[in-house]
């Protein structure tokens, strides 16, 4: 199993891209730009659900969310560049070994999964539709607020553990 994963996680041969001297800082910069877009726009949506700036109708604020998704894609692509491929990561390790060893990377990935499940819950519980109908001055249902607060918590956790990844390499 381990050798299978080692093989497949090595498959995207990114070392040619990441061997360019400025590729690593460039990818990091875009990771940060993506992070700001993602956490800023999703965070703004969450805070409105929690009751800040209640005069914002949520159906219209939702239209900013594609830029948050764009931020997530930026982070995903650059994040894969950091981890995948021999020589792509700082210590010339296989992605499998890096993921298996680094507790902060594991926690970060776990928190991204939590944030995803939280988003799934937002839709499955019908809160996404309920929240859509909230106009100027309307208060969100308690469950929607719990989901919004969880979202803030998980994304903050992703930032914290992401920042700590070099400590666990």
Partner 1 sequence: MEFLTWLEHSGFAMTIKGSTVLYELPLVFHAIGMAILVGFSTAVYLRILGVASSVPLAPLERFFPVMYAGFWINAASGVLLFSLYPIKAVTNPVFFIKMGGVVLAVVCLRRIKHQVFGNRAIHDTRVVAPADKVLAGTALFVWLATITAGRLMAYHGIAGVEWSAAFAVSVVAVTLVLAGFAAARILGGSSPSPLDVHDLPVTER
> Under the rule (CB under 8 A), what is the footprint of partner 1?
21-22, 25-26, 28-30, 32-33, 35-41, 43-44, 47, 52-57, 60-61, 63-64, 66-67, 70, 136, 156, 159-160, 162-164, 167
**How is residue 23 written in tokens?**
């590729």
Distance CA 107, CA 110 (A): 5
Distance CA 113, CA 111 (A): 5
Planar angle of CA 97, 38, 69, nearest 5 degrees: 90
User: Whole-number minimum distance, CB 136 to partner 1, in Å?
Assistant: 8
Planar angle of CA 112, 158, 11, nearest 5 degrees: 60
By beta-carbon proximity to partner 1, the closer residue of 126 and 166 is 166
User: Whole-number minimum distance, CB 134 to partner 1, in Å?
Assistant: 13
Residues present in the chain in total = 169
User: Whole-number minimum distance, CB 120 to partner 1, in Å?
Assistant: 23
User: Whole-number minimum distance, CB 93 to partner 1, in Å?
Assistant: 20
By beta-carbon proximity to partner 1, the closer residue of 82 and 96 is 82
């Amino acid at each position: 199993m381990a050798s299978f994963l080692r093989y497949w996680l090595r498959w995207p041969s990114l070392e040619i891209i990441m061997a360019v001297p400025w590729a690593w800082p460039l990818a990091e910069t875009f990771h940060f730009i993506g992070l700001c877009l993602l956490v800023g726009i999703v965070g703004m949506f969450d805070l409105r659900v929690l009751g800040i700036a209640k005069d914002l109708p949520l159906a219209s604020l939702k239209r900013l969310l594609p830029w948050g998704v764009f931020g997530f894609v930026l982070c995903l692509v650059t994040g894969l560049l950091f981890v995948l491929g021999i020589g792509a990561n700082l210590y010339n390790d296989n992605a499998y070994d890096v993921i298996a060893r680094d507790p902060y990377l594991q926690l970060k990935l776990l928190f991204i999964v939590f944030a995803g499940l939280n988003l799934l819950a937002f839709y499955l519980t019908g809160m996404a539709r309920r929240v859509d109908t909230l106009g100027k001055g309307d208060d969100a249902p308690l469950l929607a607020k719990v989901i919004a607060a969880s979202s803030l918590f998980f994304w903050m956790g992703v930032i914290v553990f992401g920042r700590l990844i070099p400590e666990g390499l």
